[in-house]
């Protein structure tokens, strides 16, 4: 049950596979981020990460937003638009040995509906075409880790807060509906 994607005028368009019993698939697109997007992304980051950061004793109302502002890279960030509205973002930065996947956030109401998998699948197809490995880190205990594992990421190292994962080029996603 995969999603589809295409490119129109430099914007990647796609359709997420519908979650079981959820009806129609969500139509989505990736558009280049603009500097003006930083505050919307900072707010989304604070919302999405709050529960995990509180569980780890690391949530700080100001710091969670400022860390995004300090590392925001519009030239490497895409805004996820679903059904015509801001739905999230993702950053793919160049690294010495591949790419870093960062700041992959979806609005809470859109999580668990196949959109994250569809976006991730599209990005990984492009990275695989370039024969690059991709790394990321996820907070310990975060549900997002399962998404990444379904798409071929494995644990490289971990510490008390973060789990660092890597995916080699061409690593197949697990399961038909990953």
Residue 172: is its pLDDT beyond 80?
A: no
More confident residue, 94 or 24: 94
Q: Which helix (H) or strand (E) holds 40?
A: helix 38-55
Average pLDDT over residues 154-177: 85
Comparison of pLDDT for 171 and 51, the residue scoring more: 51
Contact 89, 33 (CB under 8 A): yes
Name the strand (E) or helix (H) holding 32. Answer: strand 27-32
pLDDT at res. 176: 39
Q: Which of 8-17, 20-29, 84-93, 144-153 has the lowest mean pLDDT?
A: 8-17
pLDDT of res. 173: 67
Select from 105, 107, 100, 125 the least CA-distant residue to 178.
125
Q: How confident is the model at residue 12 (pLDDT cuts 50, 70, 90)?
A: very low
Q: Please state, rounded to an integer, the average pLDDT across all residues of the chain.
A: 87
pLDDT in tens, 71-124: 999 999 999 999 899 999 999 999 999 999 999 999 999 999 999 999 999 999
Res 133: pLDDT:
96
Structure tokens, 52:
């995990």
Top pLDDT among 16 and 128 is at 128
The pLDDT value recorded for residue 13 is 47
Q: What is the mean pLDDT of residues 135-155?
A: 96
Confidence (pTM): 0.83
Reply yes or no on whether the pLDDT at 23 is more than 60.
no
Q: Cβ(152)–Cβ(174) under 8 Å?
A: yes
Query: Under DSSP, is residue 112 helix (H, G, I), strand (E, B) or coil?
Result: coil
**Which pLDDT does position 70 carry in this prediction?**
97
What pLDDT score was predicted for residue 174? 61
């Amino acid at each position: 049950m995969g999603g589809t994607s295409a490119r129109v005028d430099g914007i990647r368009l796609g359709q997420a596979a519908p979650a079981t019993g959820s009806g129609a698939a969500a139509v989505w697109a990736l558009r280049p981020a603009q500097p003006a997007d930083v505050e919307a992304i900072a707010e989304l980051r604070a919302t999405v990460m709050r529960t995990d950061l509180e569980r780890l004793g690391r949530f700080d109302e100001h710091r969670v937003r400022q860390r995004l502002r300090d590392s925001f890279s519009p030239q490497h960030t895409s805004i996820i638009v679903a059904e015509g509205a801001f739905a999230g973002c993702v950053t793919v930065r160049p690294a010495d040995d591949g790419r870093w996947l960062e700041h992959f956030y979806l609005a809470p109401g859109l999580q668990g509906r196949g959109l994250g998998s569809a976006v991730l699948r599209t990005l990984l197809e492009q990275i695989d075409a370039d024969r690059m490995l991709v790394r990321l880190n996820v907070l310990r205990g975060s549900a997002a880790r399962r998404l990444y594992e379904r798409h071929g990421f494995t644990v490289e190292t971990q510490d008390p807060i973060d789990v660092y994962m890597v995916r080699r080029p061409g690593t197949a996603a697990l399961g038909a509906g990953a």
